[in-house]
Amino acid sequence: MTQAPKILIFDSGLGGLTVYREIARLRPEARYTYLADDAAFPYGALSETGLVARVQAVLAAAIAEHAPDIVVIACNTASTLVLPPLRSAYPALPFVGTVPAVKPAAERSRSQMISVLATPGTVARDYTRTLIATHAGHCRVTLVGSQMLASLAEAEMKGEAIDPTAIAREIARCFVNEDGARTDTIVLACTHYPLLQDHFDRLAAWPVEWIDPAPAIARRVDAVLSEKFVSGAESQNTQPGRALFTSGRRPPGSLERALLKLRLQALDCAPMPAAVA
């Protein structure tokens, strides 16, 4: 098949853009739909059953409307719960998810002290605990659930001024110094967080390696697509992709401009109000 693939990228908000931009680098020919469930943002605060029901409902509508060739759940908070039910509901459709990069962090850390920075939801998941037990048994792992960082990242992406002390407060617990050893590796286990990378570098208590799994996720998407679609790395799609928001609200001008720089155009979308807790 030579036709360009249709890729649906999904997140609660703007964090999935950090995954989208890596995929778009590898697959510039693809036709993109970026769907942000801003009506239910933040996912980190939702109950597990509420979140599964919400993601299933939003994606059922999006899959019916856009008929994607692949769906990328560019959200750790959702992926750590919803991949199994989605895969059984759509057995012919590939789903690629985003889960905390505990394994590469444990392999790279020299001090064997790593921190996982995520939403309160991701930190509480059995999935995350199992990842740690399976891949990081030899490390001391500190789980840090942040209430505020995803919202701060949204503000950053919209070009709003954000208070660096608020960011510093949220990341402080990632830096552990004990018994002569200290954290040297921090997993960014929420796709929003790489949007704040410059702040993290400036505010770090000491230099660490921050692990953003987006390039690895993009390689996985490319590999899955390669089973059906030839690589089109030389042929850029001339049309921008679509950015849709479940609130049905148009984004502010500053965000529309930022999206256009990423070759995404914000379009009107039928609102999907969130009725979950």
**Interacting residues with ligand DGL (CB under 6 A):** 11-13, 15, 41-44, 75-77, 119, 122, 150, 190-192
Give 4 or 71: the residue with its C-beta nearer to ligand DGL: 71
95-97, strands of its sheet edge to edge: 95-97, 70-73, 6-11, 31-36, 241-245, 264-266
Produce one character per residue of 96-116: b if its CB has 16 or more CB atoms within 10 Å, e if not.
Answer: bbbbbbbbbbbeebebebbbb
Measured from the CB of residue 214, what is the shortest distance to ligand DGL in angstroms? Answer: 11
Tokens encoding 129: 């605990």
Give how far the C-alpha of residue 3 lies from the chain's centroid of Cα atoms, to the nearest Å: 27
Is 245 in a helix, a strand, or coil? strand
Measured from the CB of residue 227, what is the shortest distance to ligand DGL in angstroms? Answer: 26
Give 4 or 36: the residue with its C-beta nearer to ligand DGL: 36
Q: Please tell me which residue in 139, 174, 190, 269 is annotated as part of the active site.
A: 190
Give 183 or 191: the residue with its C-beta nearer to ligand DGL: 191
Q: Does the annotation mark 269 as catalytic? A: no
Give 29 or 37: the residue with its C-beta nearer to ligand DGL: 37
Amino acid at 218: A
Measured from the CB of residue 212, what is the shortest distance to ligand DGL in angstroms? Answer: 11
Q: Please tell me which residue in 75, 139, 174, 269 is annotated as part of the active site.
A: 75
Q: Which residues contact 92 (CB under 8 A, 6 or more apart)?
A: none
Measured from the CB of residue 40, what is the shortest distance to ligand DGL in angstroms? Answer: 8
Rounded distance, CA 80 to CA 50, Å?
A: 14
Q: Which residues are catalytic?
A: 75, 190
